[in-house]
Amino acid sequence: MKKIIYAFLLIAVAGCDDGDIIIEDFSFDGIDLKACLPQATDGSRNYVFYKVDNTNFESLSLQFTTNEEIFNVDDTYGPFDIGPANTVEYRKYDAAPGTDYFCSSVPPAEPRVNDALKSAAGRFFITTENQSLTSQAALTNTEAPNVDTDNDGVPSNQEPSGQDTDGDGLEDKVDFDDDGDNVPTVDEGVVIIDGVVSISMSRDTDGDGILDYLDNDDDGDGILTIQEDLNGDLDPRNDMTGTLPNYLNPSVATAASPAIDLFKEHSYSRTAQLTLRLENLILTRDNEEVVFDNFNNFGTFIRPQYQVRVTPDFTEMESTNP
The distance of closest approach from Cβ of residue 156 to Ca ion in the complex, given in angstroms and rounded to an integer, is 8
The distance of closest approach from Cβ of residue 72 to Ca ion in the complex, given in angstroms and rounded to an integer, is 16
Is the torsion defined by CA of 177, 181, 183, 185 positive or negative?
Answer: negative
Q: Name the residue nearer to Ca ion (CB basis): 58 or 152.
A: 152
The answer to whether 287 touches 241, Cβ cutoff 8 Å, is no
The distance of closest approach from Cβ of residue 192 to Ca ion in the complex, given in angstroms and rounded to an integer, is 13
Q: Name the residue nearer to Ca ion (CB basis): 58 or 150.
A: 150
CA 152/CA 73 separation, integer angstroms: 20
Q: Name the residue nearer to Ca ion (CB basis): 58 or 212.
A: 212
CA 1/CA 271 separation, integer angstroms: 46
The distance of closest approach from Cβ of residue 184 to Ca ion in the complex, given in angstroms and rounded to an integer, is 6
The distance of closest approach from Cβ of residue 233 to Ca ion in the complex, given in angstroms and rounded to an integer, is 16
Residue 217 is classified by DSSP as: S
The distance of closest approach from Cβ of residue 189 to Ca ion in the complex, given in angstroms and rounded to an integer, is 10
Helix or strand holding residue 276 (H, E): strand 266-285
Which residue ranges make up the site for Ca ion (CB under 5 A)? 150, 152, 172, 175, 177-179, 181, 183, 204, 206, 208, 210, 215, 219, 221, 246, 249, 252
Contacts 24+ apart (CB under 8 A), 184-190: 184/152, 185/150, 185/152, 185/153, 185/154, 185/213, 186/151, 186/152, 186/153, 187/237, 188/212, 188/213, 188/218, 189/213, 190/153, 190/154
The distance of closest approach from Cβ of residue 278 to Ca ion in the complex, given in angstroms and rounded to an integer, is 37
The answer to whether 307 touches 269, Cβ cutoff 8 Å, is yes
Phi, psi of 95 (to 5 degrees): -160, 175
Q: Name the residue nearer to Ca ion (CB basis): 183 or 260.
A: 183
Q: Name the residue nearer to Ca ion (CB basis): 58 or 215.
A: 215
Q: Name the residue nearer to Ca ion (CB basis): 210 or 230.
A: 210
259-291 burial code (b ≥16 CB/10 A, e <16): ebeebbebebbbbbbbbbbbeebbbeeeeebbb
CA 9/CA 226 separation, integer angstroms: 58
Q: Name the residue nearer to Ca ion (CB basis): 58 or 204.
A: 204
> What is the number of other CB atoms lying within 10 angstroms of the CB of residue 9?
12
Q: Name the residue nearer to Ca ion (CB basis): 117 or 226.
A: 226
CA 63/CA 245 separation, integer angstroms: 53
CA 199/CA 59 separation, integer angstroms: 56
The distance of closest approach from Cβ of residue 76 to Ca ion in the complex, given in angstroms and rounded to an integer, is 25
